[in-house]
């Protein structure tokens, strides 16, 4: 499940991403959007009950999966030795900074998604469910490979609820498909995508 209980304190104290044109708080002409008061109210309630929705950074090298079904992980197995990933990502023939830019663009295009951290190879986002504003935290690490190759690790987890009803898994699969699509448009025509063992693989199905 997804959401963000941080922004229920009125327009002046609402985070900038909620006030931007086209965001939750205002429409593209700067007018208050219908349902804004309810949205901010839900945010305030979740924050009062569960605290800060930002679940923080993770170290993929020491990461342990949750025992409850409310997280999802895409990661090379040798990069997450203590956690079993739901799947492994491909290796793209792109420089790490190119892959990082693609990830940032994909996350920015996602609805109800706000950046929390952007430093080096680590990125973190807060994602909110449309109806109940449940908050999920998505952690991303860009992993450079030999030459001009890169892959990544993605971890999405919920703050609220024992089960996420598959929301985190669906999100990461959607992000990965879009990352792969954009990476295919950038890589040289002769370049091929590989899995983590170096074996050539076809594009991720859309």
What pLDDT, on the 0 to 100 scale, is given for residue 51? 86
Helix orientation angle between 167-186 and 96-109, rounded to the nearest 10 degrees: 130
Closest to 18 (Cα-Cα) out of 174, 37, 119: 37
| Three-state DSSP class for residue 201 | coil
Contact (CB, 8 A) for 183 and 96: no
pLDDT-derived band at 199 (thresholds 50, 70, 90) equals low
What pLDDT, on the 0 to 100 scale, is given for residue 203? 56
What pLDDT, on the 0 to 100 scale, is given for residue 93? 95
Domain positions in the chain = 11-50, 71-186
The alpha carbon of residue 178 and the mean position of all alpha carbons in its chain are separated, in whole angstroms, by 12
What pLDDT, on the 0 to 100 scale, is given for residue 200? 62
What pLDDT, on the 0 to 100 scale, is given for residue 8? 33
Torsion angles phi and psi, residue 103, rounded to 5 = -60, -45
Chain segment 67-112, per-residue pLDDT in tens: 999 999 999 999 999 999 999 999 999 999 999 999 999 999 999 9
CATH class of the region 71-186: alpha beta
What pLDDT, on the 0 to 100 scale, is given for residue 97? 95
What pLDDT, on the 0 to 100 scale, is given for residue 205? 52
pLDDT-derived band at 4 (thresholds 50, 70, 90) equals very low
| More reliable by pLDDT, 203 or 50 | 50
pLDDT-derived band at 41 (thresholds 50, 70, 90) equals confident
């Amino acid at each position: 499940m997804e959401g963000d209980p941080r922004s229920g304190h009125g327009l002046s104290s609402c985070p900038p991403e909620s006030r931007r044109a086209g965001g939750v708080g205002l429409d593209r002409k700067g007018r208050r959007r219908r349902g804004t008061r309810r949205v901010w109210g839900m945010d305030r309630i979740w924050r009062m009950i569960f605290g800060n929705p930002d679940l923080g950074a993770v170290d993929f090298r020491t990461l342990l999966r949750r025992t409850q079904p409310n997280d999802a992980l895409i990661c090379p197995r040798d990069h997450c030795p203590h956690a079993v990933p739901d799947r492994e990502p491909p290796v793209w023939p792109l420089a790490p900074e190119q892959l990082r830019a693609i990830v940032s663009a994909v996350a920015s295009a996602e609805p109800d998604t706000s950046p929390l951290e952007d430093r080096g190879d680590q990125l973190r986002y807060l994602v909110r469910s449309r109806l109940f504003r449940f908050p999920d935290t998505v952690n991303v690490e860009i992993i450079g490979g030999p030459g001009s190759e890169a892959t990544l690790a993605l971890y999405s987890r919920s703050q609220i609820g024992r089960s996420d009803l598959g929301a985190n898994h669906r999100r990461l699969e959607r992000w990965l498909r879009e990352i792969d699509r954009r990476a295919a448009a950038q890589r040289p025509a002769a370049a091929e995508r590989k899995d983590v063992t170096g074996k050539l693989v076809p594009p991720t199905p859309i």
